[in-house]
Structure 1
């Protein structure tokens, strides 16, 4: 059975939804149709996350090896075969399981300013109608209680931002040349440069130019919550039409409709809140600079 040659392991709200859509356009790349299957976090487990709406995600989780391998049955002879699960970067035990099953896999990481990522993650939950608390600050204060109560890691707004510690788990197990780390700012400003670097990293034609005109999984406020729910949530009626339409076409149409229905959230993070998060992450950011050899001073600015 086919297993992936590369994994997109995160991080959260770093642009991986868009990156996935762009990479899968390449004729030499096969990406599984299921995103966020989280196999290497949940192998052999029965997920029981208890946060609002967490149960909706259960349908996409894959916890057994045979079902995981089945994700790649259509790969054919394409040289780059992969999947994308943001939880792998910070998911407990993921690095060890990936090393066990895929010791030669190439790993793709894209990182966003951790304070901005936390704020975007909160607004993602607000967008989807799941966040019961009215302010970002209240959600930050509730995090420890939510973790203790078994809520899905998507609710771990602060905990998911310690990238140096998370990345070290992989550097302890994989050669550095098997890990390609990029920054969200670079991807936003010049997606083609990041894509070309990744094509080279994955060993496919670096001159192929995918359509990057659409952004995917954008945070914001839905004009119509009903339309957003219809587009975003798994539904049995949608499963009927899936075999009739190519996955790439479905994803593109869905993204267009979602983007038209989303308006940017009208508030920005309070300066005092950002300052507090910067202090929380400061030592990890400084350590990360050394690990990836990038200047991250902008992440330390209030």
Structure 2
């Protein structure tokens, strides 16, 4: 019997883990038989004959005054039918001493409920650590016939004085001890009656193994003895935030320490799931974390509460980045500091309201897939983690017909994105617009590196010339050139977007201390992209937008000639008229070229898309014809639009080059620096049939554009006024 073995603590430390667990099992088995003998033997002796005696008559006045709920700390409690008679030959009072972890602990309440249903008298006490043990004897008589520990570790780790006192009492009076230690496992088994395959997914940071008190260290060992009963995922080795690591190799070394710990202790490492402390590096994305996760752990799934923002919770979404599925995680109302039921913020009733039809219930009801993460502290003390989810499942089962199941992380991610395929592509936000995001974003990164101006096109309207003119201003700085797309980054409209904002920022210089830094980029295919406007507004909500519009018929013809100059076989094979008049049954490649010629000229439709995400005051529409003939006047307008204080007189730094046929940068000595040979290319005039076709084709589009510009308060370009004359 456990209570009769002295100095067990010292002995346990000298035994291997397997031997200790075997002895603990034998002890629990023997304790149950002995306790059953005492409990039911005493119970039979206490059962009254005949009609019995009323509780008020047999009990003391004190015991009647102390009738409170089972969750309260009780002195000696006499229940109905038990007068506390002295059985013949008994050396102890028929009272059970129950040591609980706190007044409101869930398991403690359940133990008390069992005792009450069996009509046993009991007394509850907070488990002493180094404090005083309650008085165990009264003269020559023992006060308790059985001792129950809600947490057996509280007994194992008693201080030497109290341990010796309790052991001596148990030996002298033949008293047994019952202890509980598998609350997590038992709760998991109970949850599986409501949720098929329910399994706790436990995170580990190996550095903190056996780094606590003796009690905590033993708890580590006990948990690992059931390692195969749970799912496991890696935290960081020392719980460090990954965004603080700027070197991927150093970050991977930390993960390898955790992996070594897992392998040494038999922890499964093949779940493909990981969680970063405080969501660090998951979102906003820290590329080093994703790369290290894949390299060390082969991670396929993670989760966060931060995408796109913590609040409102109903807007949390998932996304896929760098081959890792990021699932939305929900909150359940439990935090590291919520460890006692009575101390729950606002009162315990607030927690129960969350569970019983409140926000937590609605989270499960309204989300087809819910992921929750609680903390270690929620499973000690009053075990609010166990209480919350057991209660939640009972409420869901009682009031709904929902069928709930648990899936392993990788399967869960597959299920999520089969339900919500549109969420696969992320929508990057400005980290500096959300304080929580900024706190878990690398301090080596700055939002000042993002551009404040986008020149969005469309193509073949003079955007490259404008790019050159803007670069001539001392306060304006363009992006670094791309090896693939030259002066254009083409981030918001193509595959580059999935490389993330870190990749995007690398195209801009580190900002200087000067407040005049004004970055810009030009990508002419942003204008008619279906996704660029939304993506740009999410990352650059305060940016200014410039678009250049020329006659859409001229733009279409210029694109066709551009493709011919680049030896496009379709453009070389078909005439311009054949391209723009091709029917729906034409070859696919011909229709692709037709779309690229015609669709960007639907100016009103594309502008409306940008105005869905940007205020009209942030968008400037330039007359492409005026940019070609009077660039200095256009640049004056742009400087005013951007709010630049350093105004440059472009009349002095631009000169018309008659050989090229357009305006160039004026250098010292009267020389000019012009665009490359591919710009300003001369080609035959458009044939009259094509011009007539396009004038009719764009008629309604041009009318809609005039109405839109009027609403925006912007003047009509000269070419648009001319086209409107032809429509009358």
Taking structure 1 as the reference length, the TM-score comes to 0.72
Q: Secondary structure at the match of 1:30?
A: strand
Distance (whole Å) between structure 2 residues aligned to residue 67 and residue 142 of structure 1: 40
2:466 paired residue number: 19
1:237 paired residue number: none
Distance (whole Å) between structure 2 residues aligned to residue 150 and residue 41 of structure 1: 23
Q: Which residue among 486, 491, 495 is the counterpart of 1:39?
A: 491
1:59 paired residue number: none
User: Higher mean Cα deviation, 269-278 or 291-300?
Assistant: 291-300
Q: Which residue among 551, 559, 564 is the counterpart of 1:126?
A: 564
Correspondence 1:44-63 to 2 at 5 A:
63=499
Is the alpha carbon distance of 1:139 and 1:26 closer, same or farther for their aligned partners in structure 2, counting shifts above 3 Å?
Answer: same
Contact map agreement 1:109 1:182 (CA 8 A) in 2: yes
Correspondence 1:43-192 to 2 at 5 A:
43=495, 63-76=499-512, 77=514, 78-130=516-568, 131-141=571-581, 156-192=596-632
Q: Which residue among 264, 269, 281 is the counterpart of 2:686?
A: 269
Contact map agreement 2:477 2:519 (CA 8 A) in 1: yes
Is the alpha carbon distance of 1:185 and 1:146 closer, same or farther for their aligned partners in structure 2, counting shifts above 3 Å?
Answer: farther
Contact map agreement 1:115 1:277 (CA 8 A) in 2: yes
Contact map agreement 2:508 2:519 (CA 8 A) in 1: yes
Matched, 1:298 2:716: no
Distance (whole Å) between structure 2 residues aligned to residue 26 and residue 72 of structure 1: 16
Distance (whole Å) between structure 2 residues aligned to residue 147 and residue 80 of structure 1: 46
Deviation track 1:195-231 (CA, whole Å, cap 9, x = no partner) reads 011111122223342733378xx89xxxxxxxxxxxx
2:699 paired residue number: 282
In the alignment of these two chains, the number of paired residues is: 249
Deviation track 1:60-95 (CA, whole Å, cap 9, x = no partner) reads xxx532221111125534432110011111012111
Is the alpha carbon distance of 1:257 and 1:165 closer, same or farther for their aligned partners in structure 2, counting shifts above 3 Å?
Answer: closer
Q: Secondary structure at the match of 2:706?
A: helix
Is the alpha carbon distance of 1:258 and 1:17 closer, same or farther for their aligned partners in structure 2, counting shifts above 3 Å?
Answer: same
Contact map agreement 1:14 1:184 (CA 8 A) in 2: yes
**What is the CA distance between 1:45 and its match in structure 2?**
6.6
1:211 paired residue number: 653
Q: Secondary structure at the match of 2:533?
A: helix
Distance (whole Å) between structure 2 residues aligned to residue 141 and residue 69 of structure 1: 42
Distance (whole Å) between structure 2 residues aligned to residue 298 and residue 7 of structure 1: 28
Contact map agreement 1:3 1:72 (CA 8 A) in 2: yes
Distance (whole Å) between structure 2 residues aligned to residue 103 and residue 109 of structure 1: 17
Distance (whole Å) between structure 2 residues aligned to residue 278 and residue 16 of structure 1: 23
**What is the CA distance between 1:258 and its match in structure 2?**
5.0
1:202 paired residue number: 642
Contact map agreement 2:479 2:508 (CA 8 A) in 1: yes
Is the alpha carbon distance of 1:111 and 1:257 closer, same or farther for their aligned partners in structure 2, counting shifts above 3 Å?
Answer: closer
Higher relative CO (Cα under 8 Å, sequence separation at least 6) belongs to 1
**What is the CA distance between 1:143 and its match in structure 2?**
8.7
**What is the CA distance between 1:289 and its match in structure 2?**
1.0
Is the alpha carbon distance of 1:186 and 1:280 closer, same or farther for their aligned partners in structure 2, counting shifts above 3 Å?
Answer: same
**What is the CA distance between 1:128 and its match in structure 2?**
2.3
Pair member with larger Rg: 2
Is the alpha carbon distance of 1:299 and 1:37 closer, same or farther for their aligned partners in structure 2, counting shifts above 3 Å?
Answer: farther
Q: Which residue among 245, 251, 255 is the counterpart of 2:675?
A: 255
Q: Secondary structure at the match of 1:196?
A: helix
Distance (whole Å) between structure 2 residues aligned to residue 7 and residue 132 of structure 1: 33
Deviation track 1:229-259 (CA, whole Å, cap 9, x = no partner) reads xxxxxxxxxxxxxxxxxxxxxxx86835556
Q: Which has a greater percent of helix?
A: 1
Distance (whole Å) between structure 2 residues aligned to residue 153 and residue 167 of structure 1: 22
Contact map agreement 1:22 1:211 (CA 8 A) in 2: no
Q: Secondary structure at the match of 1:83?
A: strand
Distance (whole Å) between structure 2 residues aligned to residue 64 and residue 149 of structure 1: 31
Q: Secondary structure at the match of 1:206?
A: coil
Deviation track 1:140-196 (CA, whole Å, cap 9, x = no partner) reads 245968995599889610111000000001112111110011111111121101101
Taking structure 2 as the reference length, the TM-score comes to 0.32
> Which ranges of structure 1 fall in alignment gaps of 5 or more residues?
47-62, 220-251
Distance (whole Å) between structure 2 residues aligned to residue 13 and residue 145 of structure 1: 28
Distance (whole Å) between structure 2 residues aligned to residue 102 and residue 109 of structure 1: 16
User: Higher mean Cα deviation, 10-19 or 64-73?
Assistant: 64-73
Is the alpha carbon distance of 1:172 and 1:122 closer, same or farther for their aligned partners in structure 2, counting shifts above 3 Å?
Answer: same
